[in-house]
Amino acid sequence: MSTAIDIQTCTDILPSFQLVKGIDLGYKNDYVFDVTANSQYAITSASDNFVRLYDLGTLQLSYTIPAHDSKISKMKLKSDQFLFTASEDKTLKRWDLRTAGSTGPVQTFKYNKNLTAFDINCNDTMAIVGTEFSSSDFSADIAFYDTRNTNLLSKFTDSHGDDVTEVQCHPTTPGQFLSCSTDGMINNYEVTKFDEEEEMISAVNSGSSVNKAGYFGPNAEYIYCMTHIETFSLHTLEGDTICDYGDIRNIGLTQVNYAIDCNYDPISQRFYLITGSNTGTVDFFHVNIGQLQHCQQLQGGHTDVVRSLYWNHATQSILTGGEDGRLCAWQGQV
Amino acid sequence: MSKVSAAAVRDVVVQIQEASKQKQRKFVETVELQVGLKNYDPQRDKRFSGTIKLPNIARPNMSVCILGDAFHCDQAKGAGMEFQSVEDLKKLNKNKKLIKKLAKKYDAFLASEALIKQIPRLLGPGLHKVGKFPTPVSHNDSLIDKANELRATIKFQLKKVLCLGVAVGHVGMTEDQLIANIMLSVNFLVSLLKKHWQNVKSLYLKSSMGKAYRLF
Evaluate whether B134 touches B126 at the Cβ level (below 8 Å). Answer: no
**A230–chain B nearest CA distance, Å:** 8
**What's the gap in Å between the CA of A47 and the closest CA on chain B?**
6
How far apart are the C-alpha atoms of A314 and A274, rounded to whole Å?
18
pLDDT in the model for residue A27: 67
Handedness of CA B7, B9, B12, B14 (dihedral sign): negative
Give dist(CA A204, CA A227) in Å, integer. Answer: 12
Q: Are the beta carbons of B192 and A47 separated by less than 8 Å?
A: no
Tell whether A63 is covered by a domain: yes
Instruction: Spell out a b/e string for A230-264, using b for 16 or more CB atoms within 10 Å of the CB, else e.
Output: bbbbbbbbebeeebbbbbbbebeeeebbbbbbbbb
Is there a contact between A18 and A10 (Cβ–Cβ < 8 Å)? no
d(CA B207, CA B38): 24
Round to whole Å and give the CA distance between B55 and B32: 16
Please, are residues B156 and A227 in contact by the beta-carbon 8 Å criterion?
no
Judged by CB atoms closer than 8 Å, whether chains meet at A228 and B117 is answered as: no
| Structural contact between residues B20 and B122, judged by C-beta atoms closer than 8 angstroms | no
CB B29 within 8 A of CB B207: yes
Distance from C-alpha of A264 to C-alpha of B103, rounded to nearest angstrom: 38
Q: How does DSSP assign chain B, residue by residue?
A: --SS-HHHHHHHHHHHHHHHHHT--SS-PEEEEEEEE-S--TTTSPP-EEEEE-SS-S-TT--EEEEE-HHHHHHHHHHT-EEEEHHHHHHTTT-HHHHHHHHHH-SEEEEEHHHHTTHHHHHTTHHHHTT-PPEEE-TTS-HHHHHHHHHTEEEEE--SSSEEEEEEEETTS-HHHHHHHHHHHHHHHHHHSTTGGGGEEEEEEEETTS--EE--
B44: chain A residues, CB-CB within 8 Å: 30-31, 47, 71, 323
CA distances from A38 to B11, B66, B209 (A): 59, 50, 58
Mean pLDDT score of chain B, rounded to an integer? Answer: 95
Count of domains forming chain A:
1
pLDDT digits (tens, 9 = 90+) for A277-290: 999 999 999 999 99
Q: Does A250 reside within a domain?
A: yes
Pairing between strand A291-298 and A6-9?
parallel
| Distance of alpha carbon B141 from alpha carbon A299, whole angstroms | 44
| Complex ipTM > 0.90 | yes
A161–B43 C-beta distance less than 8 A? no
pLDDT at residue B2, as a whole number? 76
Task: Tell me the pairing of strands A231-236 and A241-247.
Answer: antiparallel
Rounded-to-integer distance, Cα A25 and Cα A45, Å = 10
Q: Which residues contact B215 (CB under 8 A, 6 or more apart)?
A: B4, B8, B9, B12, B186, B203, B204, B205
CATH of the domain at A231: 2.130.10.10
| CB-closest option in A71, A182, A201 to B49 | A182
Q: What is the spatial distance between Cα A89 and Cα A91, in angstroms, rounded to a whole number?
A: 6
Establish if A1 belongs to a structural domain.
no
Residues of A in contact with B48 (CB under 8 A): 228
The mean per-residue pLDDT over the stretch B90-114 comes to: 96
Query: What pLDDT score was predicted for residue A1?
Result: 56
Residue A226 within a domain: yes
The pLDDT score that the predictor gives to residue A18 is 96
Instruction: Give strand pairing partners of B31.
Output: B169, B207
Q: What is the rounded average pLDDT of the residues A266-278?
A: 97
Angstrom distance (rounded) from CA B207 to CA B110: 29
Instruction: Pick B2 or B9 by higher pLDDT.
Output: B9
| pLDDT score recorded for residue B24 | 86
Q: How far, in Å, CA of B108 to CA of B131, rounded?
A: 9
Is the CB of residue B177 less than 8 Å from the CB of residue B185? no
Q: Which domain holds residue A111?
A: 6-333
Range name among A216-225, B17-26, B163-172 with the lowest pLDDT average: B17-26
| Residue-wise burial string across B59-83, b where 16 or more C-beta atoms lie within 10 A, e elsewhere | beebebbbbbbeebbebbeeeebeb
Average pLDDT, rounded, for chain A: 96
Contact A205/B48, CB-based, under 8 Å?
A: no
> Which residues share a beta bridge with A65?
A51
Distance from CA of A244 to the nearest CA of B (A): 13
pLDDT at position A233? 98
Q: How confident is the model at residue A333 (pLDDT cuts 50, 70, 90)?
A: confident
- CA A7/CA A285 separation, integer angstroms: 9
Please name the residues in contact with B47: beta carbons below 8 A apart, sequence gap of 6 or more: A165, A182, A209, A211, A228, B158
For residue A248, the 8-state DSSP code is G
Nearest to A196 among B125, B135, B136 (CB): B125
Q: What is the mean pLDDT of residues A192-208?
A: 96
Kindly report, residue by residue over A221-267, the tens digit of the pLDDT: 999 999 999 999 999 999 999 999 999 999 999 999 999 999 999 99
Q: Which member of B133, B192, B195 has the closest CB to residue A229?
A: B192
Question: Cα separation of A64 and A26, whole Å?
Answer: 11
Q: Which residues make beta-bridge pairs with A319?
A: A310, A329
Question: Residues 99 to 158 of A: which have CB under 8 A from any B CB?
Answer: 139, 156, 158
A14-72 confidence digits (pLDDT tens): 999 999 999 998 768 999 999 999 999 999 999 999 999 999 989 999 999 999 999 99
Of A167, A145, A141, A171, give the one whose Cα is nearest residue A156. A141
Interface probe for A, chosen from B40, B41, B43, B44 (most Cβ of A below 10 Å), is B44
Q: How far apart are CA B215 and CA B34, in angstroms?
A: 10
Residue A2 has pLDDT above 90, yes or no: no
Confidence at A4, pLDDT banded by 50, 70, 90: confident
Distance from C-alpha of A83 to C-alpha of A79, rounded to nearest angstrom: 7
N-term to C-term CA, chain A: 34
Distance from CA of A250 to the nearest CA of B (A): 12
Contacts of A99 (CB under 8 A, 6+ apart): none
Residue B1: pLDDT over 60: no
Residue A97 is classified by DSSP as G
Residue A292's closest CA among A334, A252, A261?
Answer: A252
| Chain A positions in Cβ-Cβ contact with residue B197 (cut-off 8 Å) | none
- Beta bridge partner(s), residue A327: A23, A321
Which pLDDT score is estimated for A174?
96
Distances (CA, A) of A92 to A40, A168, B63: 23, 15, 41
